[in-house]
Chains A and B, each alone.
Chain A
Amino acid sequence: MIKRIIAVVAGALALGVASAQAQEVKVGVNLPYTGIGAEFAQLVDRGMELYLKLNADRVKPYKITLIRRDVKDPSGANAKIAVQELLTQDNVDILAGWIYSPNAIASAPIVTAGKKLAVIMNAGTAHITNLSPYYVRTSFSMWHAGYALGEASAKILNAKTAVVGYTDFPPGKDSLAAFKRSFEANGGKVIDEIPMGGAGAVPDFTPFFQRAKDKKPDLFFVFVPAGDHAAAVVKTYAALGMREAGIKLIGPGDITQDTKLQAMGSAAVGLITMHHYHADLDNPENKRFVEAWKKEYGAATTPDFMAVGGYDGMAAIVHVVHALKGKIEVDAALEALKGWKFASPRGPITIDPVTRDIVMNEYLSEAVMKDGRVYQKVIGKIDGVKDACKEQKIGPCAPPAK
């Protein structure tokens, strides 16, 4: 008993000493800093850094230390070890990162056992936030853009029929499911679904597109990885004369990721996409964000939706640190984040108090040529979009049975 009292007193003293010094908050960041995901990790990492740099005054008097760990691949195993050691060795106060969904899914039991706030800055599989009560997502779910695009197709583009062509991998399938559900709920009809090969190599899209053209839909919804796939899609679309046939080419904003868009060049012109962010969004926060980015990382670089995931994630963390006065306790942190509102470069965002997922605007944009570069012109907007998968309790998005 006496021993325990001594331990408690010593602990309290230690705490007192710690709080007297500069209030340091340790954030454990797990990202794939090497391998094929390195490019994405850099975007998220820079987004976080930029927030801390631009808002140095807002962070004070606290000190936020980032402890970075490379998770290497989407296998789940390395991410698990990284998260485990961040919790048990580095004793971090908050966890952040997660590019790949499988890693976020694999880490969930550790996050739950570790009882620390965990901010997901990219991973987009819809049901992830159901897997641990401590997950908060500041990026997006695949359903945000897909579902909003289905609604916009029916209401803004006035389409009645659509054909869907998708790269046969999870984001593609999620996107298809989301689009189809909302398009059909709004009176449209998906008349054909065409899987167009895997994500590994760019296929010859001609047969898929010809099949789509023969069905004579109002819209052709395409989900492919950004970059070479997307460039080939736009070229095939033009070569088959689908625009002349009155078929609009649409997709979620992943296919016009800012970092890949200029390389696609004039081929991208005419693409209509739905997303929560692109670098051409016209709002003061985004102007400041993009300008600071180019100044910091070079005029040739551009932020994109992944960078904004990191930026907003860090904003959420700083908010929690202030709300809790530097003493991060997970339940209080969650309370502080539920309903938290922030003026992000992507427009106003908030965290859904029920699902801990982000609520944000979705922008319908058309790629046009302007001053010799591809520019994304906003032609429509849906405010306050929630993750429809959890909203409607679809499949694994239904809340756990317990």
Chain B
Amino acid sequence: MTPAPVDWSEHPAAAAMARRHRLRAWEPIPWVAALAFYFLFPKYLGFGTELLITVLFAISLDLVLGYAGIVTLGQAAFFGAGAYTVGMLAKRGIWNEPITGLILAALVAAAVGLGSGLVLLRTQGLTLLMLTLCTMALLEEAANLAHDYTGGFDGLDSLPIAPLLGRFEFNPLYPTTQYLYVLAVLFVCFVFVRTLIYSPFGQSLTGIRENTLRMHAVGAPVRRRLVLCYALSAAIAGVAGGVWAQANAYVNLGTLGLDRAATVLIILVLGGYGRLYGAFVGAVAYMALSHFLSKIYPTAWQLGLGLLLVVIALFARNGILGIAEAAAHRLRTRATP
């Protein structure tokens, strides 16, 4: 007499696993909001474009930092690699079609990520942090020295980016095309990252973050997974950099700077890392606040931003989304006595 086959799909754990990557009701909200922004605030699209690019960049960081647990301060290295790929190809008249340009940017950034990842990811913790910082500094200095190719400190200006799909011009003063283009790119990249995170590969990344030793013990190829994740994240950062260069028709050393890398880290921590949507919340909170405060108080706006960061660091370790989750949890537990 054989035992009746157990229907695992009914098991609560299996159900929970299956539920994880189901589309939740609130998930379309950011996209609807982004589209509404386009129609409601046509005069803020320059800011909006920068905001969406920052979200994309923060998502790339969330993949390595929030999911794989690789602490990096050098994410701007890949942003810059993508931006300079687009910039140098366009400036030299080799390639200026936007969409294929982004693919090239992603490939170059991924190559940089793969190359540096193979070396860097042999280390951990503070050593890793310092090495990521060094990689970025090396790239920045290389771009500074290769003045003939990169324009040095002054950067490459007036990039001749071709119209999108051969039809839609990038207008510098009214960046409507840029906004929708960046939104589309962000959506594609987001869907990719979301799928990746809920795939077995993504689950194994979380496993590595939570307990590297145990992942080794179960036979997971830890380092290979980490390097792959690092390269994928670099590719997305490269897309963010490439689209930045296209939207601005401009590249300079700022794309490779610590400022950019540190800001995106702050944004991610502010929004809540390892949560996918933390990038959205953090970027909107940080950038909207700094944008409007600096408009009202051009000389003292940093005070307001600083206070917010202090409050978040003191009282909300998991960022703004962490607060929301805690509140939701409390509501739920109260509802079911």
Contacts and interface: CB of A to CB of B under 8 A. Distances in A.
A106 B250 contact: yes
B172 A109 contact: yes
Contact of B252 (A31, A88, A106, A110): A106
A81 B47 contact: yes
B217 to A, nearest CB: 45
A294 B175 CA distance: 45
A76 interface: yes
A133 to B, nearest CB: 13
Interface string A154-173: 00000000000000011001
A75 B252 contact: yes
Interface string A89-113: 1000000000001100110111011
A102 B259 CA distance: 16
A131 B50 contact: no
Contacts of B252: 74-76, 102, 105-106
A87 B295 contact: no
Contacts of A85: 43-44, 46-47
B294 interface: yes
A63 interface: no
Contacts, number: 100
Contact of B294 (A38, A70, A89, A114): A70
A74 B255 CA distance: 11
Contacts of A125: 154
A110 B172 contact: yes
Contacts of A73: 254, 259
Contacts of A84: 46, 172-173, 175
Given A73-B254, A75-B260, 5 more contacts: A69-B294, A77-B50, A89-B44, A101-B153, A114-B173
Given A85-B43, A106-B157, A70 B301 contact: yes
Contact of A170 (B47, B153, B244, B301): B153
B100 interface: no
A37 to B, nearest CB: 12
B294 A34 contact: yes
A205 interface: no
11 contacts: A75-B257, A76-B248, A76-B250, A81-B50, A85-B44, A89-B43, A102-B254, A106-B155, A109-B249, A113-B173, A125-B154
A54 to B, nearest CB: 23
Given A76-B248, A81-B47, A102 B153 contact: yes
A62 interface: no
A85 B252 CA distance: 21
Which 7 pairs across A and B sit closest by C-beta, in order of nearness?
A75-B254, A113-B173, A70-B298, A109-B172, A170-B153, A84-B46, A33-B298
Contact of A87 (B173, B254, B291, B298): B173
A80 interface: yes
Nearest to A68: B298
Contacts of A173: 147
A189 B248 CA distance: 43
B203 interface: no
Interface in B234-260: 244, 248-250, 252-255, 257, 259-260
Contacts of B153: 101-102, 169-170
A79 to B, nearest CB: 10
Contacts of B248: 76-77, 80, 106
B127 interface: no
A72 interface: yes
A88 B173 contact: yes
A70 B298 CA distance: 5
B152 interface: yes
A46 B147 CA distance: 35
Interface residues of A, number: 35
Interface of B: 43-44, 46-47, 50, 144, 147, 152-155, 157-158, 171-175, 244, 248-250, 252-255, 257, 259-260, 291, 294-295, 298-299, 301-302
Contacts of B295: 69
A285 to B, nearest CB: 29
A174 B301 CA distance: 34
A69 B298 contact: yes
A105 B43 contact: no
A89 B295 CA distance: 12
Nearest to B48: A81
Nearest to B250: A106
B301 A105 contact: no
B158 A77 contact: no
A84 B42 CA distance: 12
A101 B157 CA distance: 11
Contacts of B291: 81
A131 B299 CA distance: 29
A42 to B, nearest CB: 8
A131 B157 contact: yes
B173 A110 contact: yes
A80 B250 CA distance: 10
Contacts of A33: 294, 298-299
A70 B147 CA distance: 28
Interface hub of B144, B254, B257, B298 (most chain A Cβ within 10 A): B298
A80 B299 contact: no
A74 B254 CA distance: 7
Contact of B254 (A69, A76, A112): A76
Contact of A102 (B155, B174, B299): B155
Contacts of B173: 84, 87-88, 110, 113-114
A77 B46 CA distance: 10
A28 to B, nearest CB: 12
B46 A81 contact: yes
B301 A102 contact: no
A74 B253 CA distance: 9
Contacts of B172: 84, 109-110, 112-113
Nearest to A35: B302
Contacts of B260: 75
A81 B290 CA distance: 13
B225 to A, nearest CB: 34
Contacts of A72: 294
B209 to A, nearest CB: 31
A109 B158 contact: yes
A105 B152 contact: no
Interface hub of B152, B154, B157, B259 (most chain A Cβ within 10 A): B154
B201 to A, nearest CB: 33
B155 A105 contact: yes
B154 A102 contact: yes
A131 B252 CA distance: 16
Contacts of A114: 173
A87 to B, nearest CB: 6
A174 to B, nearest CB: 10
Contacts of A74: 252, 254
